[in-house]
Amino acid sequence: MKPKCLMFVTDGFEDMEVLFTMHRFREAGYQVVLASLKGTPCTGLHGYQVHPDSPIRELNPVEYEWLVIPGGACSEKLRLREEVLDIARTLIEDGRKVASIGRGAQVLLSAGAIDSKRIACPQAIRDDIRASGGIWADEPSVSEGNLHSCRSWQDLPCWFQKLFGSQLVAQRSGNN
């Protein structure tokens, strides 16, 4: 059975962050589960549509090895929902891997998860990160304990290499 990666989505997600990440996690051998607020199709900032597997309220966080929080306008909607924050907190406290891309760091901020941690995110939310006790990192990819972050979809190649480098090389060469 494949390990599971949970990815939150809702209308206004950054298309590249969701689509690239979803495919890369699948390539790395994960079952990717998309979850939205209502479990209904969601449309990204650039018009791509995804069909979630589940409403967020029906999830059992212990089933997931990873949580990925994409950016775009969806992160602002997600951070206002307590069920989203509860899942993020549970996974962080359990030592599971939690990742934010771009403005997805806003969910980590609202979950109270970034105190004294370095977080890569866009400059547009730099002051929010600092005000909540985090350390803004203007770097393509940052890993701090079980939290992994990158500034935007343009940084995904660097981020994926950091997360899966040897695993992806092994799969391409048939050693996995």
The DSSP-derived string for the chain is: ---EEEEE--TTB-HHHHHHHHHHHHHTTPEEEEEESSSS-EE-TTS-EE--SEEGGG--GGG-SEEEE--BTHHHHHTT-HHHHHHHHHHHHTT-EEEEEGGGHHHHHHTT--TT-EEE--GGGHHHHHHTT-EEE-SSEEEETTEEEESSGGGHHHHHHHHHHHHHHHHHTT--
Task: Give 118-142 pLDDT, tens digit per residue.
Answer: 999 999 999 999 999 999 999 999 9
Percentage of the chain surpassing pLDDT 70? 94
- Going by pLDDT thresholds of 50, 70 and 90, the confidence category of residue 165 is confident
- Point out which residues pair with 54 in neighbouring strands: 35
**Gap between the Cα atoms of 103 and 69, Å rounded:** 9
**Gap between the Cα atoms of 41 and 63, Å rounded:** 23
> Which two structure tokens, joined as six digits, stand for 8?
């939150």
- Going by pLDDT thresholds of 50, 70 and 90, the confidence category of residue 40 is very high
- Residue 175, pLDDT > 60, answer no
Task: Give 8-20 pLDDT, tens digit per residue.
Answer: 999 999 999 999 9
Which pLDDT score, from 0 to 100, does residue 166 have? Answer: 57
- Point out which residues pair with 137 in neighbouring strands: 120
| 4-169 topology per CATH | Rossmann fold (3.40.50)
Can you give the residue ranges of every domain in the chain? 4-169
